[in-house]
Structure 1
Amino acid sequence: MDIIKEIEAEINPKKELPEFNAGDTIAVSYKIKEGNKERIQQFTGVVLQRRGNGSTETFTIRKMSGNIGVERIIPVNSPFIEEIKVLKRGKVRRARIFYLRERTGKAARIKERKFFKK
């Protein structure tokens, strides 16, 4: 099994991304190709889950566009990710927060995790 992991590491070098988990609000700068043009689009939302490991690791991000919830599954090692910014750290107890899908308005808010300097 170590041989597979070594070959995988050579093919897909790990990107330097900030640490984020379920419940965090992040902004993903994503490259989009339209014909021969290329532009960068921001996708800002709450992380619902992170799953997988190594080259198959993905995360699901959800945002509200008007009254419609939009979810996107993005591979961590995608070459189209320009950068990821963590905007808020969420205080949740679960690794997968799919219960957020049924909630609307104030019930869909996530408390922010506070950090204190020592």
Structure 2
Amino acid sequence: MLKLNPQKTINDVERSFIKEDLPLLKIGDGVRIGVKIIEGNKERVQFYEGTIIAKKNSSINTTITVRKVLQGIGIERVFLIHSPKIDSIEVLSSAKVRRSKLYYLRNLRGKASRLKQSFK
């Protein structure tokens, strides 16, 4: 009798949806993410630009939290990076950080919230 392994089946299905062309994303990177937006019957790409403050890894469920400041108000958005709604991810800059989560940036204002740039 053939025994099915449910976890192996799930992993095989997930593997077909994982994107291979993603750049290496690190905490503190400045990124520009192209998100597909559907308006009526038209589809366009809207870019969201900010700093990665958190990353959670779990194969296909990998998410990044991106923070940007718009008119003095901090806006954070969580992106599922293997989602078909994500058109492109481009790394603009990198920062030297010593934390895995940069939640402390929420309490800083103005120039204090800048990160030290790292050159590769």
TM-score above 0.5: yes
Across the two proteins, how many residue pairs are aligned to each other?
114
Aligned partner letter, 2:11: K
Distance in 1 separating the partners of 2:10 and 2:34: 30
Distance in 2 separating the partners of 1:13 and 1:94: 27
Find the counterpart in structure 2 of residue 85 from structure 1: 90
Aligned partner letter, 2:91: V
Alignment of 1:1-118 (within 5 A): 1-10=7-16, 12-115=17-120
Q: CA deviation at 1:14?
A: 2.6
Unaligned runs of 5+ in 1: none
Alignment TM-score, normalising by the size of structure 2: 0.88
Question: What is the aligned-residue identity percentage?
Answer: 38
SS class of match (2:15): helix
Alignment TM-score, normalising by the size of structure 1: 0.89
Q: CA deviation at 1:8?
A: 1.8
Unaligned runs of 5+ in 2: 1-6
